[in-house]
Structure formats: C-alpha cells, structure tokens
Amino acid sequence: MHINLISDTVTKPTKGMLDAMMSAQVGDDVFKADPTVNVLEEKVAKMFGKEAALFFPSGTMANQTGIKLHTHPGNQLICDKYAHVYNYEGGGVSFNSGVSCKLIDGHRGMITARQVEAAINPPDFYHSPLTSLVCVENTTNKGGGACWDIEELKKIKKVCLHHNLAYHLDGARLWNAMVQKSETPLAYGKLFDTISVCLSKGLGCPVGSVLVGSKELMNKALRVRKIFGGGMRQAGFLAAAGIYALDNHVERLVDDHKKAKEIGEVLLNLPYIKTVEPIETNIIIFEIDESVMTGEVFVDTLKENNVQIIGMGQGKLRIVTHLDYTNLMHEKFLNILKTL
Ligand SMILES: Cc1ncc(COP(=O)(O)O)c(C=O)c1O
C-alpha cells in the first residue's frame, strides 16, 4: 500500500466523479457553448453571491488573472511573505502584470488590517509604486492550513475601501476553512472583489479552479484567460467533476481535518519531533530535532515504508491529508510513525 501525503492534489477521480464526467454534456467553451461549464460557473457565482464566474485550468491562472484585473504595470500589491501568489506562481505577478509585491511579515501567512494600512504607499508620493491591490490566502498553504478570523478580513476590507484598493482572495483551500469554521461562501463573496477557488485540491477533481466577481470583471477575465492560454474547448468533462465535487466532497473535508489532527498528536509524542504547528485543517507542518535525525533521513525512512511526505525548506516538513487517504492508510501510517 502506497501512502502519498505530499499534497491534496494527488487524488484521482472517484467512481461517482468519473461517471459524472463521462456523461457530461459538452460544447466548445471558447464560444461559451459548453453547457456543463456554464452550469458550474453559474453554480459557483451563486454560491458566493457574485454576478459571474469563470472556469480556469489552474489556481495559478485564476489568481494571476485576478491580479491582472486589479493592477497596471508598475503598481504594487500587498500580501503576506508566505503568499502563494508571491512564492509559488513562478514570478507571475511581475511576468504577467508587471507588478511588485510589498511583503508583510504576518503570522502563519495571515496579516492584520493595521499592517495593511501601514504598507500602503502614499498615492501622491510618485517615487514609490502605486499600491492597488491586497491579496490574502485562506487557508494558508505555507502557513500550515491556518484559517483566518473573518473579522480581520472585514477590517482589511474597510482599509481597502478607504484607500481605493482592490481585494483578492486566493481561496484554493477556502472550502477547508469554511467547513472548519462553519462559514458561508456568501460571507466571503460580500468581502472580496474577486475570489479564486480550487476544485483540484481537497475536493478531489483532476483539474480546475473558478474565479468569481462582478459581470464586468469576469468579462475582462475572459479576455485575460484567453491571453494566458487558458481557453479550453470541451471543458465540460472537467466542469462535471467540479459540479460533482461541490455536491459530494465539501462536507467530508472534516474527515481530512480529523485525520490531520490525529497525525499531529502522534508526531507531538515522538522524541525527535521539535515542533508541530497548530493544526486547523488538512495541512501539518512540523520540524525534526536535527540533533537526533535530519529531515532528509526522516523523509527517506518514511519512503522505505511506502509513505511519501515533502519538505518545505528551512527544515520544515509537510503532510497533507486528502480524499484518497483512507482509514486503512491512516491506521497504517500512525503505526509506522509510532514504530519508526
Ligand atoms: C494557496 C494556493 N493557491 C494557489 C495554488 C495554485 O493552484 P494550481 O496548482 O492549481 O495552479 C495552490 C496550489 O497548491 C495553493 O496552495
């Protein structure tokens, strides 16, 4: 039995999802004529109380489109130093939009309204880049699946309104946060100009993200997506997976969170584990006491036991639970950890 815990993106479609994909009605989505893509977009827009939505091949492209919509070359966006848009999107912020990032030293990938306010460049001081956008991430990937306090997000919204800044949410794992904190998509839709959500992470789809916003913004996004090469033809096969996942795979995320907590508890009791970051959702970030064992040896030893986990740099290791991590695998993995 191979146990892959490197990411929640490693899942394969379930039988139900495959059936939904195979029976999808499709058309050419570049002509907006794929009925299943249209249903998915309407469904997600409605969930978030937004006018429109657009289906994307990846979370990266959905975020990069959001950034492109809200900025002009030479502008600056504000984000946490851990932000995916800054660290893991290949420098797309500068490549695609000609924008720089003002990085904030936040807590587990989350920043405060006060920090945002202090990071805004005065608009009349023409020596500095013009601040035009604030990007936040929920849950935070590099921050270990941490969930925001929605009250802080509301405070940041006020700052954005006051300073005329756009507000984008990288909600790749927003489903995990909403399930964990009993929050609604509508509450998030009210706060942000654009939100990207991934279908290919905790929800178990093979491909797909959705960007939501106003009709005007999504019309512009359609053009940007085309320029980025993200116009897909019979994409309904993929959208059908998304619809199935939204109907069947959201509530079950609590199971991934429970398993992650249980793994964390076992890790905490191992003599060679230095720290385990608080576990709120499906991501576990921890450090090995390198005076006892290096992270590399730990990863290799797990590999010999058919378990794959991943390093995050700076001595940190990451485990992510997901739809394909079964109860049986969980039992086996906990035993492996206890007997290493
Ligand atoms: C927080 C966050 N945002 C965006 C993305 C990008 O998604 P994709 O891999 O579909 O481009 C990821 C992927 O891991 C992520 O963790």
Q: What is the pLDDT of residue 314?
A: 81
Q: What is the pLDDT of residue 228?
A: 98
Cα 242 to middle of ligand 1, angstroms: 16
What is the Cα–Cα distance from 173 to 199, expressed in whole angstroms? Answer: 9
Q: What is the pLDDT of residue 102?
A: 98
Instruction: Please state the domain extents for the chain.
Output: 3-9+252-339, 15-248
Q: What is the pLDDT of residue 323?
A: 98
Cα 85 to middle of ligand 1, angstroms: 8
- 3-state SS of the chain is CCEECCCCCCCCCCHHHHHHHHCCCCCCHHHCCCHHHHHHHHHHHHHCCCCEEEEECCHHHHHHHHHHHHCCCCCEEEEECCCHHHHCCCCHHHHHHCCEEEEECCECCECCHHHHHHHCCCCCCCCCCCEEEEEEECCECCCCCECCCHHHHHHHHHHHHHHCCEEEEEECCHHHHHHHHCCCHHHHHHHCCEEEEECCCCCCCCCCEEEEECHHHHHHHHHHHHHCCCCCCCCHHHHHHHHHHHHHCCCCHHHHHHHHHHHHHHHHCCCCEEEECCCCCCEEEEEECCCCCCHHHHHHHHHHCCEECEEEECCEEEEECCCCCCHHHHHHHHHHHHHC
The reported pTM is: 0.98
CA-nearest residue for atom 9, ligand 1, is 59
Rounded to an integer, the average pLDDT of 38-59 is 98
Cα 86 to middle of ligand 1, angstroms: 11
Class level of CATH domain 15-248: alpha beta
For residue 142, pLDDT beyond 90 = yes
CA-nearest residue for atom 16, ligand 1, is 141
Q: What is the pLDDT of residue 315?
A: 82
Q: What is the pLDDT of residue 313?
A: 81
Pick the CATH number of 3-9+252-339 from 3.40.50.620, 3.90.1150.10, 3.30.70.100, 3.70.10.10: 3.90.1150.10
Mutating to test ligand 1, I would choose from 63, 84, 139 the residue with most ligand atoms within 8 A of its C-beta, which is 84
> What pLDDT digit, counting tens, does each position of 186-214 carry?
999 999 999 999 999 999 999 999 999 99
**Higher-confidence position of 45 and 313:** 45
Q: Work out the percent of the chain whose per-residue pLDDT is above 90.
A: 97
Q: Is 200 in the pocket of ligand 1 (CB under 6 A)?
A: yes
CA-nearest residue for atom 15, ligand 1, is 172
> What pLDDT digit, counting tens, does each position of 91-130 carry?
999 999 999 999 999 999 999 999 999 999 999 999 999 9
For residue 312, pLDDT beyond 90 = no
Q: What is the pLDDT of residue 340?
A: 85
Q: Is 84 in the pocket of ligand 1 (CB under 6 A)?
A: yes
Contact 272, 288 (CB under 8 A): yes
For residue 19, pLDDT beyond 90 = yes
Q: What is the pLDDT of residue 269?
A: 94
Rounded to an integer, the average pLDDT of 78-87 is 98
> What pLDDT digit, counting tens, does each position of 144-188 carry?
999 999 999 999 999 999 999 999 999 999 999 999 999 999 999
Q: What is the pLDDT of residue 233?
A: 98
- In which band, very low, low, confident or very high, does the pLDDT at 246 lie, cut at 50, 70 and 90? very high
Q: Looking at 36-40, 58-62, 295-299, which range is the least confident one?
A: 295-299
CA-nearest residue for atom 7, ligand 1, is 59
Q: Is 80 in the pocket of ligand 1 (CB under 6 A)?
A: no
Q: Is 172 in the pocket of ligand 1 (CB under 6 A)?
A: yes
